[in-house]
Amino acid sequence: MRNVIAQNQEWIDQTWAKLEHKLSKVTVKSRNKLPYTTIDGVHDDKSEDYVTWWTNGFWGGLNWLMYLGTGNEEYKKTAERSEELLDGAFSIYTQLNHDVGFMWHLVSGANYRITGNPSSCTRNLFAAASLFARYNLDGEYIRAWNGGDERAGYSIIDCLMNLSLLYWASEEIGDDRFKKIAISHMNMALRDHIRPDGSVNHIVNHEIEKVGVKEVLAGQGYAADSCWSRGLAWAVYGCMISYIHVGKEEYLEAAKRTANYFIEHCKKTDYLPVVDFGAPEEPVLYDSTAGVCTACGLLELAKYVSKEDAQMYTQEAINILKACDERFCNYEDDEDALVLMGTVRYPKNEIAWKEVHIPIIYGDFFFVEAMLKLKGNEFFIW
Ligand code: GLY
């Protein structure tokens, strides 16, 4: 892994310097916001009208990572402010869903692990308890979203990323019950979401009173049997998260299988991932966020494989990040976002087309996380 990094050291240092230059200003400017995207170059603010929105932890998490990478207290102040703003979400319980890991583990979980702040530990434990409570005992899955019976059987591949919150809670309180639920959900994903060729199902609708699959749904992808690239990214990194916390070989094997599928398909478009690897070739619709999330998963994967494979996965992560840097990143002061060209879902209606090729906060988060890993920082935020 180090050889490939050494060969790319100049690019890594230059890219970090550029992003740090930009973010040192944006962190102050957007301190009192929970940004999701930008409008005319300016961060929007979900703390105003949607404090329970699932992406509200990424800005705080990004600022903790920048603090670790620079020691600059301005990032710490913004991360702490994010945590205060997020407190409003705890009082709207019915809007909380499976994404409480994204929301709190990256902010309160990071704060507690970095500073030892006991209030942050309490917040993260509350979030873990709410995720724990979504487990369907008979169907053996963590239920996605809220709503009526029509969604009661849904599990989604994205949720693998939230399992880190449960692993942390068990490690923190010395009680395996959270971890056991995370493992059960992960095993379900191996069986019902991850296909033999390494591609994934986004939504699986389960039987709710016994273990079983009723149907597979397209979700944010092109079709039920295609492969939504960000869903695949959640699988690559999600399998690694479970492998790191549990150490089961099947999880590492699934991480490799999904990673290889991603790499094989992403290469075809010069390492700029399209929204769905099984969609028609035209129109060409990119999703930068799928690439940067996968790059983080590949850099973790590289730590647990043979030397030869480690070089290969590190090089592929760098290929994705370089393509993103060259084609999708904006380092200018008149745009608050760093990574442009994210896409929420494969567009099938007018509203969805408005969320094609836009900046999305988790694109910035994963780009920063990947660059920090390449700089040799060992903190594992998940
Ligand atoms: N977890 C929702 C998404 O990836 O858009």
Within a 10 A sphere around the Cβ of 377, how many other Cβ atoms? 13
CA 363 to chain centre: 9
Does ligand 1 lie within 6 Å of residue 364's CB atom? no
Domain span at residue 106 reads 2-374
- The total domain count for the chain is 1
C-alpha 54 – ligand 1 centre gap (Å): 8
pLDDT at 1: 64
- 382 within domain boundaries: no
pLDDT at 292: 98
- Residue 79 scores a pLDDT above 90: yes
CATH code of the domain containing 324: 1.50.10.10
For strand 135-136 and strand 141-142, is the pairing parallel, antiparallel, or unpaired?
antiparallel
Dist CA 238 CA 244 (whole Å): 10
pLDDT at 163: 98
Element (H, E) at 216: strand 213-217
- Residue 119 scores a pLDDT above 90: yes
pLDDT at 260: 98
Give, as one character, the DSSP assignment of residue 101: I
> Of the residues 158, 203, 361, which should be mutated to test ligand 1's pocket, given the most ligand atoms within 8 Å of the CB?
158
Kindly report whether the peptide bond that precedes residue 273 is cis, defined as omega within 30 degrees of 0: no
What would the pLDDT profile of 253-306 be if each residue is shown by its tens digit? 999 999 999 999 999 999 999 999 999 999 999 999 999 999 999 999 999 999
C-alpha 158 – ligand 1 centre gap (Å): 6
List strand residue ranges (DSSP E) for the chain, in order: 38-39, 42-43, 135-136, 141-142, 154-156, 203-206, 213-217
Does ligand 1 lie within 6 Å of residue 369's CB atom? no
Dist CA 64 CA 18 (whole Å): 18
Q: Which of 131, 158, 143, 160 is nearest to 208 (CA)?
A: 143
Does ligand 1 lie within 6 Å of residue 158's CB atom? yes
- 380 within domain boundaries: no
Note whether 203 and 217 are within 8 A (CB).
yes
- 212 within domain boundaries: yes
For residue 102, the ligand 1 atom closest to its alpha carbon is 1
pLDDT at 220: 98
C-alpha 372 – ligand 1 centre gap (Å): 23
- 379 within domain boundaries: no
